[in-house]
Amino acid sequence: MREKLIEFRNVSFRYREEHPWVLKNCSFEIYEDESIAIIGHNGSGKSTIAKLINGLLFPQEGEILIAGKPVTEETIWDIRKDVGMVFQNPDNQFVGTTVQDDVAFGMENRGIPREEMIARIEESLTAVGMQDYHLTEPHRLSGGQKQRVAIAGVLAVSPKVLILDEATAMLDPKGRTEIMNTLNQVQEKNNLSLITITHDLHEVVQSDRVIVMNHGEIWDEATPREIFAKKHALREIGLDVPFVAILADELQEKGLALTKEPLN
Ligand code: ADP
């Protein structure tokens, strides 16, 4: 049976006591090897969830468990080894002067031996299709390539979960699709859980499950197909259903749906 990797139990959070709650009584579970999308309008609480998983914030109410361990000030240093994060702006994430230095950075902090580091750099750059760029200076890369290198840096330290917080928001549609395809391949190969945080419904298509946030509450939790079927309700909470999903629906209604089934 698959193990529970992340568990939120009735979690509520506010940034200050005098502020309103930004997460209200949220409960959900994420299993190992799962690909999850967290979607919601701007300000619905998505990034706050990511920061709670990574122990950058702690909830005032409820409990968060990662691999069965409660997240506390004492356990967080250990837990962070299992959690990799990639953020929106790739330029803010570079620390190395070459691509390989950058990928090495997280490993240097963990005292991984040099031989192993070299092997892991090769492996993780290959996983994201950047194996020909070891010595390139990061500023010479496109936005999509920079995000791939950021992902390689996280993969190199072998996390159990990879969280992307609007990581494709600054890319063009082609760059976005490439990153999402790369990530899904990497996730399947590496026994990794993937959490994609986005306000763009296009990005949830390849997920196993979608958690929809609305004003700090979990509005729904279902497969992408089930979520897309609620297109009118989604629009009311500020989310636009992709045109292709609407088209597929309309074709189905008219009996014109494309099917993979043989016709006779
Ligand atoms: P999302 O990622 O869905 O856009 P966030 O989790 O960033 O939402 O924000 C949820 C709510 O918390 C918003 O109302 C936002 O204004 C507020 N918020 C976010 N960060 C802070 C902060 N550092 N201090 C105070 N309020 C914050």
Predicted pLDDT at 99: 96
Long-range contacts of 215-219 (CB under 8 A, 24+ apart): 215/44, 215/45, 216/21, 216/22, 216/23, 216/24, 216/26, 216/44, 216/45, 217/23, 217/24, 217/25, 217/26, 218/26, 218/27, 218/28, 219/40
Say which residue the tokens 């494709």 belong to: 168
DSSP assignment letter at 156: T
The answer, yes or no, to whether any atom of ligand 1 lies below 6 A from the CB of 47, is yes
- 111 CA to centre of ligand 1 in angstroms: 35
In the chain, where the domains are located: 1-82+161-173+188-264
Predicted pLDDT at 40: 94
The answer, yes or no, to whether any atom of ligand 1 lies below 6 A from the CB of 48, is yes
Per-residue pLDDT of the chain (264 residues), as tens digits, is: 778 999 999 999 999 999 999 999 999 999 998 999 999 999 999 999 999 998 999 999 999 999 899 999 999 988 888 999 988 887 777 788 999 999 998 888 888 899 999 999 999 999 888 999 999 999 899 888 998 999 999 999 889 999 999 888 877 888 888 888 888 888 888 778 999 999 888 888 889 999 999 999 999 999 998 998 888 899 899 888 777 777 777 777 787 766 655 544
Kindly report the protein residue whose alpha carbon is nearest to atom 7 of ligand 1. 47
Q: What is the C-alpha end-to-end distance of the chain, expressed in Å?
A: 38
Helix (H, G, I), strand (E, B) or coil at 205: coil
CATH 3.40.50.300 fits domain 1-82+161-173+188-264: yes
- 3 CA to centre of ligand 1 in angstroms: 30
Predicted pLDDT at 46: 96
For the beta carbon of residue 38, count every other beta carbon within 10 angstroms: 28
Q: Positive or negative, the Cα torsion across 80, 86, 87, 91? A: positive
- 14 CA to centre of ligand 1 in angstroms: 9
Q: Is the pTM of this model over 0.90?
A: no
Instruction: Provide the residue type at 146 as one letter.
Output: K
- 62 CA to centre of ligand 1 in angstroms: 19
ipTM for the complex? 0.98
- Residue of 18, 41, 42, 47 to mutate, ligand 1, most atoms within 8 A of C-beta: 47
